Amino acid sequence: MFSKQLLDAMNEQMKNEFLSAYLYLAMAGYFEAEDLPGIANWMRVQALEELTHGEKFFHFICDANGRTDLRAIDAPQNDYDSPLDCFVYSLKHENFVTDSINKLMDLARQDNNHAAQIFLQWFVTEQVEEEASFGLIVKKLQRIGDDGNGLLRLDEELALRTFVPPAAGA
């Protein structure tokens, strides 16, 4: 069902999804150390979401009779100059993931792999949401600037995020 090139790219994207989880968990640790438990919670939820994305790739590859290839993940960055710096880095990472998904979709189209295209469409849509979420927080942090009260209010807001696993088949 997969061309060699498409299978390799699917396995690489699976790695990138697990890398994202690892990165956001490291960021949660940064925010915990900065006494911002609400933002740390937001990042932990994001890490769980990315884990489910990696699992989606794992299951799709297996279901399509492909061979999964779990690859090494580099250590993530653990320290940042500020919460804004951390979220700007996160947004750039999400831009990278979006580009990777788009290239994967192009490859699935080139291979006329309709099942992969349908599977990847969920991720194309998801990346619009991911970039919007991170982008909004970047804008809020830019508005907050050095206002400690504003940062604490954002921390309280982001503390409310909970992990909701995707619906079966989604």
Structure tokens at 145: 């600037």
pLDDT confidence tier of residue 1, bands split at 50, 70 and 90: confident
| Rounded (5°) CA angle 161-165-170 | 130
| H or E stretch covering 94 | helix 83-110
Q: What's the DSSP call for residue 112?
A: T
Q: What's the DSSP call for residue 75?
A: P
Instruction: Summarize pLDDT for 104-139 with one digit per residue, the tens.
Output: 999 999 999 999 999 999 999 999 999 999 999 999
At 170 the pLDDT is 65
CATH number, domain 4-70+79-158 = 1.20.1260.10
What distance in Å separates the CA atoms of residue 139 and residue 96, rounded to the nearest whole number?
19
Instruction: Summarize pLDDT for 3-16 with one digit per residue, the tens.
Output: 999 999 999 999 99
Q: Taking residues 86-93, what's their average pLDDT?
A: 98
The pair phi, psi for residue 52, each rounded to 5°, is -65, -30
| H or E stretch covering 104 | helix 83-110
Q: What's the DSSP call for residue 79?
A: -
At 125 the pLDDT is 97
What distance in Å separates the CA atoms of residue 45 and residue 47, rounded to the nearest whole number?
5
For 93, other C-beta atoms within 10 Å of its C-beta total: 20
